[in-house]
């Protein structure tokens, strides 16, 4: 509302009073303007002096007041310092908050999730030294060889490890459990030797006397949701119990059935393993020492299983067995260690790389050499792909 509207002329004494009040207010405004102008000039003179010492309207440290509105005003009062600095302070707070949020997101988000890369599968026959090793003490330098195997596996960063000839002995304890603990993985071990005779209690008594039991094992970075031990048929050797250890692990793409096995050149056994893997609706991998050349493993292809090493390296020899553990030169002659993969209904399994690992000796302090095992390891990178 304008001054004129507020103090409109009135007739009579009230009108005269209104005019006097209006004139008084205008005089007060003029006096305030003169006083304010003098204060403004004083502040400008101080600002120029400060500007000569490093301040100024375009220099750090100079506080710029908001301009006074033009037209009618009671005085050209600058904004108080607290008000003048409020907006920059708010902007700075918002900037600090934004930086904090960005930092928290960067820390909370992993650079690359393991599931965004192919799964790393390793299979290895450990060479346990035989059922009499607890009595003779000759376990083929197992403890020293474990000292080679652990850092080698750790460097490979495997997601799943399948072991064969994994022993539990009086001297060495549960080797699969020790490896799993050293690598930070979960594990399941199948005691194949206990199944020597049909009566399980008698089998346990026998291995208890020997102080030795062995069988396949699976170590996994993923949660283990189920496991089962499947007896394999003994078409050739009755006193040679063999099993297939099945472990279901839960990956980001869904469940994966993992079979670790050690067959004995028996076609009945390899066929049974292929049937077990083909019976699963989820993708499956068969890993292990099959003691059979690849030319005799057509049964796996008949059941939809793919030789992962041969799929990505069709011309490589891939020899893995009969390495003498105490000689400097390689002595492997055959390929008997495999990883086969089969698609599931909703998820496909595709090998993207393959290589032989744990295939070099280490020279000991006494000058002799030692290999990790009489088998080389096999590393397969496998990608699980959801069907569209």
pLDDT tens-digit map of 251-291: 999 999 999 999 998 899 999 999 999 999 999 999 999 99
Instruction: Report residue 25's pLDDT band, with 50, 70 and 90 as the boundaries.
Output: very low
The residues that bridge with 52 in the sheet, in sequence order, are: none
Q: Which pLDDT does position 206 carry in this prediction? A: 82
Cα 262 to Cα 69, 217, 254, 286, 325: the distances in Å are: 91, 10, 26, 11, 20
The residues that bridge with 205 in the sheet, in sequence order, are: none
Strand bridging mode 254-262 / 284-289? parallel
Strand bridging mode 347-357 / 119-125? unpaired
Strand bridging mode 119-125 / 160-169? parallel
Whole-number percent of the chain with pLDDT over 90: 58
Distance (Å, rounded) from C-alpha 27 to C-alpha 32? 9
pLDDT tops 70 at residue 130: yes
Distance (Å, rounded) from C-alpha 367 to C-alpha 220? 36
Give the residue among 310, 245, 231 at the shortest CA–CA distance from 284.
Answer: 245
Section 147-172 average pLDDT: 96
pLDDT tops 60 at residue 180: yes
> For 100-181, where are the E strands, in sequence order?
119-125, 160-169, 173-174
Its pTM stands at: 0.71
Cβ neighbors of 254 (< 8 A, separation 6 or more) are 282, 283, 344, 346, 347, 384, 386
Strand bridging mode 119-125 / 377-386? antiparallel
Section 359-388 average pLDDT: 95
**Residue 338 structure tokens:** 């495999």
Distance (Å, rounded) from C-alpha 77 to C-alpha 284? 81
Distance (Å, rounded) from C-alpha 168 to C-alpha 177? 9
In CATH, what is the architecture of 115-386? 4-Layer Sandwich (3.60)
Burial class (CB in 10 A: 0-12, 13-18, 19+), 130: middle
Instruction: Report residue 44's pLDDT band, with 50, 70 and 90 as the boundaries.
Output: low
Q: Which pLDDT does position 99 carry in this prediction? A: 64
Lowest mean pLDDT among 20-24, 103-107, 193-197, 227-231: 20-24
Section 195-205 average pLDDT: 82
> For the chain, where are the E strands, in sequence order?
119-125, 160-169, 173-174, 186-189, 212-220, 224-231, 243-251, 254-262, 284-289, 306-307, 337-342, 347-357, 362-363, 369-370, 377-386
Other C-beta atoms closer than 10 Å to the C-beta of 81 total 10
Helix (H, G, I), strand (E, B) or coil at 265: coil
CB 154, CB 183: distance < 8 Å: yes
- pLDDT by residue (tens digit) across 310-334? 999 999 999 999 999 999 999 999 9
């Amino acid at each position: 509302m304008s001054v004129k509207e507020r103090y409109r002329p009135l007739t009579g004494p009230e009108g005269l009073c209104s005019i006097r009040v209006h004139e008084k207010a205008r005089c007060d405004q003029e006096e305030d303007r003169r006083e304010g102008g003098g204060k403004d000039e004083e502040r400008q003179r101080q600002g120029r002096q400060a500007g000569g010492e490093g301040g100024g309207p375009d220099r750090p440290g100079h506080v710029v007041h908001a301009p006074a509105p033009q037209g009618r005003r009671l005085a050209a009062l600058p904004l108080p310092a607290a008000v003048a600095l409020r907006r920059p302070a708010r902007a700075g707070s918002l900037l600090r908050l934004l930086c904090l949020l960005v930092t928290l997101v960067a820390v909370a988000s992993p650079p690359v999730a393991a599931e965004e890369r192919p799964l790393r599968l390793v299979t290895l026959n450990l060479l346990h030294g035989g059922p009499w090793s607890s009595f003779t003490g000759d376990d083929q330098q197992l403890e020293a060889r474990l000292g080679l195997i652990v850092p080698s596996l750790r460097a490979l960063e495997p997601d799943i490890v399948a072991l064969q000839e994994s022993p539990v002995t009086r001297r060495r304890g549960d080797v699969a459990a020790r490896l799993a603990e050293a690598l930070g993985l979960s594990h399941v071990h199948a005691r194949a030797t206990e199944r020597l005779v049909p009566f399980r209690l008698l089998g346990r008594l026998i291995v208890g006397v020997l102080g030795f039991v062995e069988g396949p094992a699976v170590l996994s970075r993923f949660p283990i949701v189920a496991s089962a031990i499947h007896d394999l048929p003994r078409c050739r050797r009755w006193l040679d119990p063999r099993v297939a250890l099945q472990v279901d692990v839960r990956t980001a793409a869904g469940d994966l059935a993992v079979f670790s096995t050690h067959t004995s050149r028996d076609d009945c056994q390899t066929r049974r393993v292929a049937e077990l893997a083909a019976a699963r609706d989820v993708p499956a991998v068969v890993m292990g020492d099959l003691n059979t050349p690849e030319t005799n493993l057509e049964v796996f292809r008949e059941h939809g299983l793919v030789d992962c090493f041969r799929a990505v390296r069709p011309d490589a020899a891939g020899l893995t067995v009969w390495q003498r553990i105490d000689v400097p030169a390689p002595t492997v002659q055959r390929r008997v260690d495999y990883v086969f993969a089969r698609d599931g209904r909703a998820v496909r399994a595709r090998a993207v790389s393959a290589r032989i690992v744990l295939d070099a000796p280490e020279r000991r302090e006494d000058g002799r050499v030692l290999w990790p095992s009489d088998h080389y390891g096999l590393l397969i990178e496998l990608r699980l792909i959801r069907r569209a």
